Structure 1
Amino acid sequence: MYALLKLILNRLAHAIPTLVGIIVIAFILLSLAPGDVVDILAADGSIQDAATAAAMRAKFGLDQPLPMQALNYVIGVFQFNFGYSPIHSLPVSDLIVSRLPATFLLMASSILLSVIVGVVIGLYAALNVRTWKDFLGSVFAILFFAAPSFWVGLMLMVVFSIKLELLPVSGMVSMRINATWFSQALDIARHLILPTCALGLFYAAIYARVMRAAVLQVSKLDFVETARAKGVPEGAIAFRHILRNAVLPVITLIGLQTGNVMAGAVVIEQVFSWPGIGTLLFDAVLDRNLPVVMGVLILSSVIVMVTNLIVDILYFILDPRIQLEKHS
């Protein structure tokens, strides 16, 4: 327990300066882009004269030197203040909080689907290596790794929404009146199926290949051969000895690819009109709404850091042989 606590504290000690560095660099880079919040307001006619523009720049601190703006922004971020969105006339934090549950739901379901499907197919293919079952697993991995997620999403939409009319085309909820909480949850689940599959199958293909290779490698280790020599059933060997060790590379990949999953969610949310962070970011880029872009960037960084911390903890629990020095 002490070793695990030390690992968590060590990761947090590294995460804080890393996050500050990301905020400062991103803030400076976005500050180099032409225009600011006041220019956006002036472009849509909300500001009519130079005096009002100067007052607005003073209000948002845009008249201060860039280092001071960056320092104030960093302090504000740690107070959950990401600035103000002139397009929405709302604080950026309010916009993010309103969209975050939808994106978390999509990412969590996609990661869960990809891990379950990838691990099962990879394990099954490796246990039946050089058979037609292994061949089918390879076809699945190659097909969904090569196919773009947005194309998979469109094909799923055409088949299951337009042709078969089994699932909703887009959105997160249907237009319902006086719906119970159970029917609302069921309705959200139905809307979630297609975007989850579109986003998750690509990573399932990656995990399937990684899992297959890991299972084949672990199967040749001495402790597996010893278990077979003792007469342990193959099923028990597969799940008790091989699976626990072979799944470690998959867990590592989950942490490494969290940022990619969130980037993929931006595209999938656009395809299915899913009201999450991705849709908010896409609209912010088109509108040059830099405070929102900055807020989403910081949120993405935090999500990646937290996910990597969780992965390190899982890795430490699943393989107690790992020493803290290997995590440092």
Structure 2
Amino acid sequence: MELSRLPGFLLRRVLKSVAVILAIVVCNFLLIHAAPGDPATVMAGQSGAADPQYMEQLRRQFGLDQPLTTQLWIYLKGVLQLDLGFSHRQQAGVAGLIMDRLPATLLLTGAAFLIAISGGVAMGALAARRVGTWADSVITVIALAFYATPLFWVGLMLVLLFSVYLEWLPSFGMSDPSLNATGLALAWDVAQHLVLPAVTLGLFYLAVYARLTRATMLEVADQDFVKTARAKGVPEGRVLRAHVLRNALLPVITFAGIQAGQLVGGSILVETVFAWPGIGRLAFEALLARDYQVLMGVFFITSVMVVLFNLLTDLLYALIDPRVEVA
């Protein structure tokens, strides 16, 4: 990778990313407003007053009486100013609500990603090295089982086993408010609450990485440069690490960069099952309340994260494989 080309590459990617994010914002806005139902009716019902005058006042207050194109232009100007609107349900700014919940989601998805990528690569490498043996068969069966099992069922079974029967781990929430813990005690409490949801979210992707690593390692192992290294007498362990595994990680990194962004959206189900206070649960609550501003805000933040993860993946790709140029 030539460092002189890096600024131009980053500039082009940033401009493309901004265009992609704006297109996603427009699509999300149109799709959400195409949904049946009147948000003013929901807001009036929540406040206990559903007379026509009050509903008309709500429509004027939140701009629902404006044409759709006018509403879209107002929303786009707000997004460009990092103003994601106001939540009628929680009576607070959408940006503030998301920023309060985002650290919990990043903690959950980050832990799940580490579990998935480290465990998946390790299992896939072991299966490729022991191909055709009982270890390969066991890893393959386990990976297929994790891949085919619904996340909510895995979460509920983990709660029954480790929380109800064994009583080793807490089942719901991010921390125990009755402890009033601070410092290391609070960190330990959060870590205990994190185990079950992170494992639940990570198991599905662990299975994907295990299968992908195994397949790519077996494919790379048949390449001529690997055979040449073995013919020169390079130790088998070094061949596997420096030649086979390193080249096999390239498609894994590509897939991981895509999945890292999708983990944030995929955490909605896990956060709901475990009552984890992240943006996934915030989006679910907003969907039930027809809080369009919060939904669009969550979609916007997750879209930005997906684009950023893809940009980081491209840079990491070039760092790992010198043959890949940023241009």
Is TM > 0.5 for Structure 1 vs Structure 2? yes
Tell me the C-alpha RMSD between the 2 structures.
Answer: 1.8
The whole-number CA distance in structure 2 between the counterparts of 1:288 and 1:136 is 46
Deviation digits for residues 239-288 of structure 1, max 9, x if unmatched?
A: 12222111111111112224542332111111111111111111111111
What's the counterpart of residue 175 of structure 1?
177
SS at match of 2:308: helix
Match of 1:209 in 2: 211
Which residue of the other structure, out of 66, 72, 76, is the alignment partner of 1:74? Answer: 76
State the aligned residue count.
325
1:116 equivalent in alignment to 2:118? yes
Structure 2 residue aligned with 1:90: 92
> What does 1:203-282 correspond to in 2, within 5 Å?
203-282=205-284
Corresponding residue to 2:150 among 137, 148, 151: 148
Structure 2 portions without partners, runs of 5+? none
Which moves more between the two structures, 34-43 or 177-186?
34-43
- Matched residue, 2:309: 307
Distance 1:61 1:146 in 2: 45
TM-score calculated relative to the size of structure 1: 0.93
One-letter amino acid matched to 1:313: L
Q: Could you report, residue by residue, the CA deviation over 1:216-235 in whole angstroms, capped at 9, with x for unpaired residues?
A: 11112222222222222111
1:189 maps to which residue?
Answer: 191
Letter in 2 for 1:240: A
Unaligned runs of 5+ in 1: none
Letter matched to residue 181 of structure 2: A
Correspondences of 1:16-95 after superposition (within 5 Å): 16-45=18-47, 50-95=52-97
Whether the aligned pair in 2 keeps the contact of 1:109 and 1:196 (CA below 8 Å) is: yes
Moved more, 53-62 or 121-130: 53-62
Give, as a single letter, the amino acid of the residue that structure 2 aligns with 1:117. Answer: G
- Partner Cα distance (1:309, 1:47) in 2: 48
Is 1:12 matched with 2:14? yes
Inter-partner Cα distance in structure 2 for 1:36 and 1:76: 22
- Give the distance between the partners of 2:30 and 2:179, measured in 1 at CA: 47
Percent identity, aligned pairs only?
A: 45
- 1:33-82 superposed Cα distances (whole Å, 9 cap, x missing partner): 34555333222236565555444433333333221221121121122211
Q: Deviations over 1:120-147 (max 9, x none)?
A: 0000110111111111111111110111
